[in-house]
Amino acid sequence: MSASLPREELARTARQMNLPGFGLPEQEALHNAHVLVIGAGGLGCPVMQALAATGVGEITVVDDDVVSLSNIHRQILFGAVDVGRKKVEVAAERLRELQPGITVHAVDARLDESNIVAALKGIDVLIDGSDTFTTKFLAADAAEITGTPLVWGSVLRYRGDVALWWSGPGAPADGVGMRDLYPAQPDPDSVPDCATAGVLGVTTSVVGGLMATETVKFLTGVGEAKVGRLHMYDALTASVRHFNVARDPGRELVTELGVYAQACAVPIDDGGDAPGAALISMLERGAAVSLDVREPHEKALTDIAVPGPNLPMSELDAPGRVDEVLDVLPAGDVVVYCAGGVRSAKFVDRFRDTARERGLTLHSLPGGAQRWGAQLA
Long-range contacts of 80-87, Cβ-Cβ distance < 8 Å, separation of 24 or more: 87/40, 87/41, 87/63
**234-248 residue pLDDT tens:** 999 999 999 999 999
**61-120 residue pLDDT tens:** 999 999 988 889 999 999 999 999 999 999 999 999 999 999 999 999 999 999 999 999
**38-54 residue pLDDT tens:** 999 999 999 999 999 99
pLDDT tier for residue 1 given thresholds of 50, 70 and 90: very low
How far apart, in whole angstroms, are the C-alpha atoms of residue 10 and residue 146?
33
Q: What residues does 59 pair with on adjacent strands? A: 35, 104
357: left (phi over 0), alpha (psi -120 to 50) or beta: alpha
190 pLDDT above the threshold of 60:
no
The answer to which of 144-153, 181-190, 353-362 has the lowest mean pLDDT is 181-190
Which residue type, as a one-letter code, is found at position 235? A
- If we measure between CA atoms, which residue out of 158, 237, 240, 154 comes closest to residue 202? 158
Residues in Cβ contact with 30 at an 8 Å cutoff, skipping those fewer than 6 apart: 54, 55, 56, 57, 216, 219, 220
pLDDT tier for residue 297 given thresholds of 50, 70 and 90: confident
User: Bigger pLDDT: 340 or 47?
Assistant: 47
Number of Cβ within 10 Å of residue 152's Cβ equals 26
Number of Cβ within 10 Å of residue 224's Cβ equals 8
Q: Which pLDDT does position 149 carry in this prediction?
A: 98
pLDDT tier for residue 192 given thresholds of 50, 70 and 90: low
For residues 164, 170, 171 and 172, what is the CA-based torsion angle, rounded to 10 degrees? -150
Catalytic member of 120, 140, 304, 338: 338
How far apart, in whole angstroms, are the C-alpha atoms of residue 133 and residue 188?
9
Catalytic member of 194, 266, 311, 334: 194
Domains (ranges, CATH) in the chain? 33-244 (3.40.50.720), 274-375 (3.40.250.10)
- If we measure between CA atoms, which residue out of 108, 107, 127, 117 comes closest to residue 52? 127
Is 194 part of the annotated catalytic residue set?
yes
For residues 129, 131, 134 and 135, what is the CA-based torsion angle, rounded to 10 degrees? -20
pLDDT tier for residue 260 given thresholds of 50, 70 and 90: confident
Q: Which pLDDT does position 348 carry in this prediction?
A: 97
Sign of CA dihedral 320, 324, 329, 331: positive
pLDDT tier for residue 270 given thresholds of 50, 70 and 90: very low
Give how far Cα 246 sits from Cα of 167, 253, 254, Å.
Answer: 12, 14, 17
